[in-house]
Structure 1
Amino acid sequence: MTEALAPQLAPRGSLFARLREAAQPHWGDYVDHRFVRGLGDGTLPEAAFRYYLGQDYLFLIHFARAYALAVYKSENLEDMRAANDAVGHILAETSLHLRYCAGWGMSEADVVALPEDPACMAYTRYVLERGMAGDILDLQVALAPCVVGYAEIGLALKADPRTTLEGNPYRDWIETYGGDDYVAVARKSVATLDRLFAQRGTEARIPSLSRTFTEATRLEVRFWQMGLDVLEHARE
């Protein structure tokens, strides 16, 4: 679904493009997941989306921690300021996210009290572990499938003729992640990866970075699947 759009975000030869290619078929499973297709045509069951929204709030909290770790791991003020800005943006987004959840019938108390799904726990702790065990490049590579992948998905859904926007309850989600503001965030992440790799990367690091990127991508797939699995468990 997204192959033609990939160069818009990551030029061929960029570190992200190389890692993305090495992550197949898992990357395809992530960006063209059944959950994603359901967002596009509006057929995703609302219970699955509400569950995803609640877990996404918990996810944001841990990603704020990851970017706080990026401040510590940074070796210059430019990277420290960028990571600090990301922390502030994510923390502000938690308030916006809670208001968005309210529109889906989920109160702040409901969301805050949610137990963390194992899929959310596995993904966020993996990102934090890679950041603590490695350097700033390892951490940014672990974050990239989420940061850049959501923009790729948003752009692809907007361009896909199968996508229905009129009357689609998930239109706001699609337009947010396929919108200019978020796409700019994704492009900045791609550029950051290239800059960090030029500073501290060698070809010898590619296999390790690729393993990190691919594992994070696999965990993204599980994060989508989490929303569908909860429906299956409800039927049991």
Structure 2
Amino acid sequence: MPRFTEELWNSIADIFAAILAHPFVRGLTDGSLPEDAFRYYVVQDALYLRDYARCLALAAARSPRDPWCELFADHAKVALVVERSLHDSFFREWGLSPEEIAATPYAPTNLAYTSYLLRIAYDRPFEELLGAVLPCYWIYWEVGKHLEKAGSPNPLYQRWIATYASEEYAQVVRAVIDVTDEAVADFPEGRRAAVRAHFVTTSRYEWMFWDAAWRMESWPV
């Protein structure tokens, strides 16, 4: 029998193909991505990670097993500290201060995505939260591995690619995949279906996040 997470990944095959085909993602390797769009993305991603880290902290608090609690507590810290160091390296090159980043409003797609994640984190069972947060882990790893094959002529983009293609990041993702499989091992299809629905929804939001950056999305009114 295939692992449940294999079923999850197969369920978003079309979405992942659309992500790889998106001009923002392709532009990271062929050098065509305007740096303004990448800067927009990094700023919005820094805002996103503040809420994503809170979701991981809630996953830690609600974990039914101690090792999982430790895992997600550590990942919440990593999202705030390690990922922030990557972003800060970009911000220093662009001359952006922490105060400027904090004062940046959430773009519509970012606000919708983080609001969805936080709602699941507060309202739904632990396994559903796993389904909601897993795409951010997993899709970035798969995108990183895919883009690493071509590399990038832009050192900023290459730094980003190398982070998510690294074996260190791969170990983080594999750990969450394993937790997800274990968490739903004895669940009936009805409970698994809810996990699958969140996984598909936040995978769509991943595409939308890159698309918003490509368009440098702003509020229409």
What is the TM-score normalised by the length of structure 1? 0.85
1: CA distance between counterparts of 2:155 and 2:71? 35
The answer as to whether partners of 1:26 and 1:218 remain within 8 angstroms in 2 is yes
Distance 2:4 2:95 in 1: 41
- Tell me, yes or no, if structure 1 residue 23 matches structure 2 residue 3: no
- Residue 46 of structure 1 aligns with which residue? 35
Equivalent residue pairs, number: 217
Choose from 171, 175, 193 the match for 2:180: 193
| One-letter identity of the residue aligned with 2:188 | T
Taking a change above 3 Å as real, the CA distance of residues 19 and 99 of structure 1, as seen in their structure-2 partners, is: same
Identity among equivalent positions (%) equals 30
Mapped to 2, the partners of 1:21 and 1:190 lie a distance apart of 14
In structure 1, what is the equivalent of residue 207 of structure 2?
221
Answer whether contact 1:61 1:91 (CA < 8 A) is retained.
yes
Give, in whole Å, the separation in 2 of the partners of 1:71 and 1:203. Answer: 25
CA contact (8 A) 2:132 2:202 kept: yes
Counterpart residue identity of residue 207, structure 2:
V
Q: Match for 1:196: what amino acid?
A: A
> How far has the Cα of 1:168 moved from its partner?
4.5
Post-superposition Cα deviations, 1:180-214, rounded to whole Å, max 9, x if no partner, equal 11111111121111111115x22232322221111
- How far the C-alpha of 1:133 sits from its partner, in A, is 2.4
Q: How does 1:167-178 map to 2 (within 5 A)?
A: 167-178=154-165
Counterpart-to-counterpart distance in 1, 2:29 and 2:188? 39
Change (3 A) 1:13 1:33: farther
- TM-score normalized by structure 2? 0.90
5+ long unaligned stretches in structure 2 = none
Q: Aligned partners of 2:152 and 2:89: how far apart in 1?
A: 22
**Which of 188, 208, 220 is residue 194 of structure 2 equivalent to?**
208
Q: Does 1:14 align with 2:14?
A: no
- What secondary structure is seen at the aligned counterpart in 2 of 1:29? helix
Matched to 1:44, the amino acid is L
Please provide the CA RMSD for this pair.
1.9
The structural deviation recorded for 1:31 is: 3.8
Counterpart of 1:175 in structure 2: which amino acid? A
On the 8 A contact 2:24/2:211 being kept in 1, the answer is: yes
Alignment-derived partner of residue 182 in structure 1:
169
Q: C-alpha displacement at 1:36, in angstroms?
A: 0.8
For 1:130, the equivalent position in structure 2 comes to 120
